[in-house]
């Protein structure tokens, strides 16, 4: 008959059983468990970025898309959405992507977010601008995005009107502006737990 030789640490006819660890290895195992528990505690401390009442990173999300259009408004509301905020101490992550255009010599446009008619003030405004130096027409893909904690006062829970707006950049000439030319426009709002 043929006898198999098991690798160290295994016994039995098919070498399927782990041999029990010697007692002196128990101390090493205990040390490893202690190190792992310490690492878990450190990780838990690192992830304590959530405010009271906030128990998950993303609390809510809403998505809206618009088919390709050539919205040639030079000022006003380009897109809007009503968003229901669940927590009074959370923040909003806002994002709008579209193909934008400026045309005309020395013209500049500004796209920006308003929440309930007010610009975000903390941590900063959320805006982009585009300048056209010559009399040409420039189309570019753009993403307007940022985090809003406050728009002059804390943004409480409940319904809020989120708008993407367009205006002539202060100090520059108005021109022929457009949003959404030959591409889908996407507006996203996500409620998130704040980070310290």
For 72, residues 6+ apart whose C-beta sits below 8 A from its C-beta are: 176, 177, 178
* pLDDT above 70: percentage of residues in the chain: 70
For residue 14, pLDDT over 70 is answered with no
Beta-strand relationship, 118-119 and 137-148: unpaired
For residue 106, pLDDT over 50 is answered with yes
For residue 21, pLDDT over 60 is answered with no
- Spacing of C-alpha 117 from chain mean position: 22
Rounded to the nearest integer, the mean pLDDT of the chain is: 80
**Mean pLDDT, rounded, for 134-143:** 87
What's the confidence (pLDDT) of residue 16? 61
Name the pLDDT band for 89 (thresholds 50, 70, 90).
confident
What's the confidence (pLDDT) of residue 194? 79
Instruction: List the structure tokens of 119.
Output: 């610009």
**Mean pLDDT, rounded, for 93-114:** 92
Structural contact between residues 175 and 104, judged by C-beta atoms closer than 8 angstroms: yes
Phi and psi at 56, nearest 5°, equal -155, 150
What's the confidence (pLDDT) of residue 27? 58
On whether the pTM is more than 0.75, the answer is no
Q: Which of 22-26, 45-49, 128-132, 186-190 has the highest mean pLDDT?
A: 186-190
Instruction: Please give the residue that has the higher pLDDT: either 16 or 68.
Output: 68
């Amino acid at each position: 008959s043929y006898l198999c030789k098991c690798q160290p640490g295994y016994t039995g006819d098919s070498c399927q059983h782990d041999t029990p660890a010697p007692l002196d290895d128990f101390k090493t195992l205990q040390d490893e468990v202690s190190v792992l528990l310490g690492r878990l505690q450190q990780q838990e401390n690192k992830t304590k970025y959530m405010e009271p009442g906030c128990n998950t990173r993303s609390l809510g999300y809403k998505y809206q898309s618009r088919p390709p259009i050539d919205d040639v408004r030079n000022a006003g509301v380009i897109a809007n959405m009503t968003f229901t905020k669940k927590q009074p101490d959370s923040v909003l992550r806002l994002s709008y992507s579209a193909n934008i255009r400026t045309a005309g010599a020395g013209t500049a446009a500004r796209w920006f977010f308003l929440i309930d008619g007010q610009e975000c003030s903390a941590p900063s405004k959320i805006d982009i601008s585009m300048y056209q130096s010559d009399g040409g027409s420039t189309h570019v893909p753009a993403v307007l995005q940022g985090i809003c904690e406050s728009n002059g006062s804390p943004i409480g829970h409940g319904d809020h009107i989120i708008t993407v707006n367009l205006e002539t950049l202060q100090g520059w000439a108005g021109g022929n502006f457009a949003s959404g030319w030959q591409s889908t426009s996407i507006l996203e709002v996500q409620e998130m737990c704040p980070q310290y």
